[in-house]
Structure 1
Amino acid sequence: MKITLHTRMQDFGQMVDGITIELDQIAPALHPEDFRCTDCFYDIGASKPISGVKSVKAEGNALHLETDSFLYRTDFAVECVSPRLPVKIDKGSADKVELFHEKMFRPIMENGVRYRLYEPERTGPRPLILFLHGGGGSGEDNLLQLTDTVGAIKLAERLPDMYIMAPQAPAGGLSMDEMLARMMAKGDPYKVIVGSDPDNDKDDRGWNREYLGRVCDLIRAMIADGRVDAHRVYVIGMSMGGFGTIKAVSIAPDLFAACAPICPSMNGESYPILENFPDVPAYISSAYIDHQAGRHAYMLRAVQKLWDKGRRNIRYTLFTPEELEAYGIGITPGLSMKELYMENHNSWILVMHNEYGILDWMLSHRKP
């Protein structure tokens, strides 16, 4: 038996919407009621289960199951309760996980950078958006940056006439869970540390300056060979990638026409960069509270300093509870305050839907 999970990227991340079971014999005729779904949730807080399998189709030795979309990240199970096919399908039993959108992006390893590239049909130089993922996309598989959040794929679907470059930050040998455990051992993992911080000063993981410099060099090479419009290069990212966006502009202010940091991490490096931000238009956004209030205080303090200097190309928006709830964020029953702040972190969903015209604003800018 071979099991394939069919997934797509949607607002809440990677979602399963179909399963194929390949047998070494003719597939039996089964019905949706022959399958039981456990912990198959469709909402961001993993509290609302799908109704079950929608359809079952036998085709030769293959059985195709269609379901309502449910979260891949949970410990789900789809079990056949008929004695004709005793099988329980979960992540551990799946032989393959197909991502429908993966084929949109070409995998490339170049200049020491792992990245995915969406390439538009073109007759001349096209704009390019550099997308920087959050901490969960770090690694060496050149795929997690597409499945960590909806960002890169949503941009390619929305802006098919532009290049979308999605590099993968190195993980430095640590998984996201291991990195979070290390941060938690110091107390509040989201505490703003202004000053030297060993975990943020490492150069072997995350959006470190050397790695981002090589990413920027790749874009310069694409400009040089006539593929990318030098006047329309943009950078956008969320969480760790929001911090990476701020850092990328500080590394190559001559390269970018505008940027959009979303819920950026604030620490000993990002805060001083932001308060002395290069003359590049920036639209900073976040939820009304996200992880902790201290982050917002530092963002506002830095932005206020820029405004006081006369910088009118800096914008700052905090999404209200009502605006987040319209996208299914912050409505999970029984959330603690800490869990609510974590759920609010998904404010990038609103930006990818162009709330407040943030994407339009960014793309309206051109370098002279």
Structure 2
Amino acid sequence: MVLGIFVGGLALSGCSSESKDKALKESDVTLITNVLPDGEVGAAVICDFGDTIDSSKLTKDSFKVEVEVNGKPKKRTISKVYTNNKVAVSESSKEGQYVVIELDTKDEYASTSTFNEEKFLSTRDNLDYTVTLTKEVKTKEGIAYKASEKKNKISNVVTPVVDDFKKGVYQDASGSKMQYRLFEPKKEPNKKYPLVLFLHGSGERGNDNYMQVVGNEGAVAWANPQQQKKNPAYVLAPQVKAAEKLTAYWTEEPNYTTMFNLLKETIDKYDVDKNRIYVVGMSNGGIGTWNIIKKNPDLFAAAVPICGIGDFNGSNLVGEYEPLKDASVFKEIKDMPIWAFHAEDDPLVDVRYSRDAVNAIKELGGSSIKYTEYPKGTVKPMGHSSWIPALQDKEMVNWLFNQSK
């Protein structure tokens, strides 16, 4: 897997002893994580040996990489080992002091988070990595790093794109607080930029100000370098606190008002193009997306609700499907560009909720509504995860940025 990552300005200490034999220090080991469509994974470990490495004898079995899971070390699968002249994952090996150990991002222990089914909550905790030298590594100056049973812990974690999001805590006039991440585009003078508001799903609730940007691609899809080069934009990703009872939190107080006030302050504070404000949400965030556009039909230029409920009534979050009773609830947004996504076999949010919303808008005369329904068995790992293909749909991404009030 080629990640194409460069971490500018990262200071990793080298080894300075005059001895001809040295040991790798924990301060020399960095974990690179990467956010994939289904969440963040440990993607590579990079070791700094201080001097240019003789790469001629480096092999995949020169190292052992482990991650602690539930208190036990689990071996990660190494896919590639090579040298580089910077802290980066590269397409080809270059002479340098860094050894890049790429990991199989599909192996059993790749994920950096744990999902608690009872609480319906993910936590980012699988970052306790170690690397062990199983074969001697030499520099071109003849200094040897001997094979050892010592497990060197990582001292740095770098997550490209996510690290470019600023952390913040917003507090409104009522005293209600909400953590958030904000990505700012590279700006030019006297130019305004669109803003994407991303509303996370239930698994990404919490107080860490991380899970809403690493739990899936919902936020980073709009901030990655390729996308920003084509469509520079702000990305705002608030995070709701985790409550014991799972509710439609984006529709409830104080969450809704605090989130909306945060959005308004961001729009006013930065050079945001007020004609190009978009909202994207998945699952519970999909419910929040339908909710916020119905309450503010004149604010948003377009919306992408993914596996949501178009007309949440306070009781249809769980349990049996409830048919739409009144199509007129969509009257104010019938002409808004909306692209809804859902999987036919979604086991958590009945697909009929999206069908009802789309059909109601069409019955009201709306012609800007688009709908993608994934056939049974096509969305992996389960039907609820329709955001995985939706966020990789380049047609949808281009469509979104082409919308303007």
TM-score clears 0.5: yes
| CA contact 1:132–1:166 (8 Å) conserved in 2 | yes
Considering only CA atoms, is the larger Rg found in Structure 1 or Structure 2?
Answer: 2
Q: Does 1:365 align with 2:403?
A: yes
Paired amino acid for 2:363 = D
Equivalent residue, structure 2, for 1:67: 102
When residues 28 and 124 of structure 1 are mapped into structure 2, their CA distance, relative to the original with a 3 A threshold, is: closer
**Stretch moving more, 251-260 or 213-222:** 213-222
Equivalent residue, structure 1, for 2:192: 125
Deviations along 1:61-80, one digit per CA (max 9) or x if unpaired, are x9744214523337798655
| CA contact 1:207–1:241 (8 Å) conserved in 2 | no
When residues 297 and 94 of structure 1 are mapped into structure 2, their CA distance, relative to the original with a 3 A threshold, is: same
Q: Offset of 1:311 from its aligned partner?
A: 2.0
Q: Which runs of 5+ in 1 are unaligned?
A: 41-48, 175-197, 331-339
Q: Which runs of 5+ in 2 are unaligned?
A: 1-25, 69-75, 87-96, 114-125, 136-145, 172-176
Q: Does 1:35 align with 2:63?
A: yes
* Mapped partners of 2:213, 2:45: distance in 1: 21
Q: Offset of 1:209 from its aligned partner?
A: 4.5
| CA contact 2:53–2:83 (8 Å) conserved in 1 | no
Q: Does 1:350 align with 2:389?
A: yes
Alignment match of 2:366 (pick from 311, 330, 335) = 311
Q: Does 1:7 align with 2:27?
A: no
* Mapped partners of 2:47, 2:103: distance in 1: 17
Alignment RMSD? 3.7
Equivalent residue, structure 1, for 2:247: 200
State the secondary structure of the residue aligned to 2:42.
strand
Equivalent residue, structure 2, for 1:252: 296
Alignment match of 1:288 (pick from 323, 328, 344) = 344
Equivalent residue, structure 2, for 1:107: 167
* Mapped partners of 1:209, 1:303: distance in 2: 27
When residues 95 and 37 of structure 1 are mapped into structure 2, their CA distance, relative to the original with a 3 A threshold, is: closer
Task: Please give the residue correspondences for 1:1-368 in structure 2 after superposition, counting only pairs within 5 Å.
Answer: 1-2=26-27, 3-20=29-46, 31-32=58-59, 33-36=61-64, 50=77, 52-55=79-82, 64-70=99-105, 71-73=110-112, 80-81=133-134, 84-88=147-151, 94-111=154-171, 112-120=177-185, 121-122=187-188, 123-157=190-224, 158-159=227-228, 160-172=231-243, 174=244, 199-200=246-247, 208-225=252-269, 227-264=271-308, 268-269=313-314, 275=327, 276-277=329-330, 278-279=332-333, 280-291=336-347, 295-320=350-375, 324=378, 330=380, 341=382, 344-355=383-394, 357-367=395-405
When residues 308 and 265 of structure 1 are mapped into structure 2, their CA distance, relative to the original with a 3 A threshold, is: closer
When residues 8 and 207 of structure 1 are mapped into structure 2, their CA distance, relative to the original with a 3 A threshold, is: farther
Deviations along 1:41-86, one digit per CA (max 9) or x if unpaired, are xxxxxxxx85544236899xx9744214523337798655458222
State the secondary structure of the residue aligned to 1:86.
coil
State the secondary structure of the residue aligned to 1:221.
helix
* Mapped partners of 2:223, 2:263: distance in 1: 17
* Mapped partners of 2:53, 2:360: distance in 1: 68
When residues 245 and 230 of structure 1 are mapped into structure 2, their CA distance, relative to the original with a 3 A threshold, is: same
Paired amino acid for 1:6 = I
Q: Offset of 1:229 from its aligned partner?
A: 1.6
| TM-score, normalising length: structure 2 | 0.64
| CA contact 2:42–2:112 (8 Å) conserved in 1 | no
| CA contact 1:133–1:149 (8 Å) conserved in 2 | no
Deviations along 1:285-341, one digit per CA (max 9) or x if unpaired, are 02232225x60123212322222222222222112469x5xxxx54xxxxxxxxx53
Identity %: 24
| CA contact 1:35–1:52 (8 Å) conserved in 2 | no
When residues 321 and 295 of structure 1 are mapped into structure 2, their CA distance, relative to the original with a 3 A threshold, is: closer
Q: Offset of 1:163 from its aligned partner?
A: 1.0
When residues 273 and 39 of structure 1 are mapped into structure 2, their CA distance, relative to the original with a 3 A threshold, is: farther
Paired amino acid for 1:132 = L
* Mapped partners of 1:363, 1:274: distance in 2: 31
Q: How many positions carry a matched residue from both structures? A: 308
When residues 218 and 227 of structure 1 are mapped into structure 2, their CA distance, relative to the original with a 3 A threshold, is: farther
